[in-house]
A and B are shown apart, each in its own frame.
Chain A
Amino acid sequence: MKLFKEVFIANIKELLRDKSGMFWLVAFPVIFVFIFGLIFTGNTGQQSYTIGLVLEGSSVINNNIEKALLKNPSFNIRKGSQEEEVNALQEGKRELVIIIPEIGFDLNSQYDIQILYNRDLNGTANIIISSLKEIFYSIERRLTEQTELFNIRPEAIQAKTLSDFDYILPGILAMAILQLGLFGSFQFLNLREKGIIRGLGVTPLSRSVILSSEILMRLIIALIQTILIVFLGKWLFDVQITGNLLQVFGIVIIGALSFISLGYMLITFADSMESGRGIVQVVQFPMLFLSGIFFPVEFFPSYIKPIIKALPLTYLGNALREVMVGIPAQTTMQRNIIILLLWTLVTLVLTIKFWKWE
């Protein structure tokens, strides 16, 4: 235990004194938060969605729903017949079409609100639907409570969850964890290639102590990064963190483990720092783009979809978005976690199989 402590301290010192390493681990995610934060928040950056509205009736309630929709600044409402609007949707001119039947005052019956959207634009549709739900629920609340029956307040609808930056912030955290896992493995690669690990073979220090102290250190860094990113996003850019921090930590640890394991697996195939860097970049770069951590991937051609569905970063991004800012994913939390754990398991087995100490 004392040995572990000494090696751990040595590891920390090595890391803290490595300025470029610290830059990638701490400064880089922070800079990312700033850049994306400045680009994607603020009034000008508000994205609007074009929504087709089909009203099958013109009751007072119908009219009020229409008004509420029109008042929402992120909606660009086009009215039309069902046929027109569905055509427009199919041509890609609408993000989504909402069909509202004649709604009377019979509060005992239930009205189906049909929403049509392009299956390929799942994520966007989900965002819109969640804010549509807000609108409808608030109307419903007012109706059933029978107070202020039709006083619709659009400002209550301007859900913060629609900001692009809310989508991106968990992505930045996911990216930071990806980097930590993949680039972090260079620390060991470096020790291995410099012969430091081999040299320690003549001392009583067991090499697994080095490895485990590295892993512990990186898990701690992951948590520090989480705190940094969450609080910067919250205080500087007003991101509404809906989840609790412990849940976020849990997901971060699960994600970090799977990328640390992936990182170690990748360096087993490297025989120098250079080849290590090459291999890691080949893996990291497409992953950043295809996992949808910064933008929804609906518009990628369908033959890429299986790749997207296979990437662990996709699931870490999904999980973090859900638990941090409450953006629902196409995948359930259970599925996200299971797939991350599966990745950890598979890469771990491969790492152990191909591992080299020297």
Chain B
Amino acid sequence: MAENVIDISNLKKYFAEVKALDGINFSVKKGIIFGMLGPNGAGKTTTIETMTGLYQRDEGEISILGLDPERSLKMLQKKMGVQLQSPSLFPRLKVVEILNLFASFYQNPLKISNVLSQIGLQNKKDSWVKKLSGGQKHRLAVGLAMISNGELIFLDEPTTGLDPQARQDLWNVIRNLKAEGKTVFLTTHYMDEAQKLCDDLVILDKGKIIANGSPEKLINDYFKDRVIELEDMGLNNSFKERIKKEVFYNRLSFEEKKGHVLLYSDQIDKTLKSLFQLADNYERELNDVVIRKATLEDVFLKITGREYRDEAV
């Protein structure tokens, strides 16, 4: 247990009647990139801000680097770097000045030039913070978390709002942090980010952890099966009922929004055969049939029964 950098047990946080965190448990091993994946409103920000001492918990235990943020916040603050989801920075300071200011908070900060090049803001170093674009501000906030040179870095949706190239760059920055032996706790609502970047993962939904493990393990646990997607168009209700009754599958779901029927199956041949048979018998055309591997989205869908949506922030 000594190598756990974070230990959370039965953590609860309420905002009036809203159960933002409804008893969550997880541990983070030293030196990994740990992801917390969940849709908007799941409670990711609340988790980070409770762990870093900005909120007081209502119940449960928190141990960060062996410290309880409510008791030893001062000590903890020196050892961690935090990027908050909506970073607000002195608007009229230059990028390099605010990095300087933050560097002065810590005993052994990173070099400013080093941070500037990692977050790709060298040519913006003399711009006022308020003149930066949203993405640039976001990268600066990540830089301010890094400059602490702390052994544990919290990043709250670090890549939200970045273009694909900047996102790739930031993934590399995060991998670098890991290479230097630091532990990274990051939240994201991007499935692909969680899948590609994280060593270990929890999926959070409505204040509860609904799954945990490495991305591969999660997919394997829930899906030895493949997914067959077919278009909903032209399928009337009685035919859908027939699919439900007569086709072989492990699990079936109708995605209203995308207008697709999804069939999950671990015996894909059998499923396909019975599906086409049925179509033949009733002289139906099946449109746009796709067979694919399961992803984290399917995991989410399978567990919650809801489609995973990246609602606009």
Contact = CB atoms under 8 A, between A and B. Distances in A.
Main secondary structure on B side of the interface with A? loop
Contacts of A198: 54, 88
Nearest to A209: B105
Nearest to B92: A17
Contact of B104 (A3, A17, A191, A194): A3
B214 interface: no
B89 interface: yes
Given A2-B104, A3-B104, A202 B52 contact: yes
B57 to A, nearest CB: 15
B88 A202 contact: no
Main secondary structure on A side of the interface with B? helix
B162 interface: no
Interface residues of A, number: 20
A45 interface: no
Contacts of A349: none
Interface residues of B, number: 28
Given A6-B101, A10-B97, A10-B101, A202 B90 contact: no
Nearest to B52: A202
Contacts, number: 57
Contact of B80 (A6, A10, A202): A202
A191 B90 CA distance: 8
B74 interface: yes
A210 to B, nearest CB: 10
Given A10-B97, A13-B97, A194-B88, A205 B105 contact: yes
Contacts of A102: none
A199 B92 contact: no
B40 interface: no
A7 B105 CA distance: 10
Interface string A122-152: 0000000000000000000000000000000
Nearest to B102: A203
Q: Which residue among B100, B101, B102 has the maximum number of chain A CB atoms within 10 Å of its CB?
A: B101
Given A6-B104, A196-B89, A202 B84 contact: yes
A84 interface: no
B207 to A, nearest CB: 22
Interface in B119-159: 128, 148, 154
Contacts of B92: 13-14, 17-18
Given A14-B92, A202-B53, A204-B106, A7 B87 contact: no
Which 3 A-B residue pairings sit nearest by Cβ, starting from the closest?
A202-B82, A17-B92, A6-B104
Interface of A: 2-3, 6-7, 10, 13-14, 17-18, 191, 194-196, 198-199, 201-205
Interface of B: 52-54, 74, 77-78, 80, 82, 84, 86-93, 97-98, 100-102, 104-106, 128, 148, 154
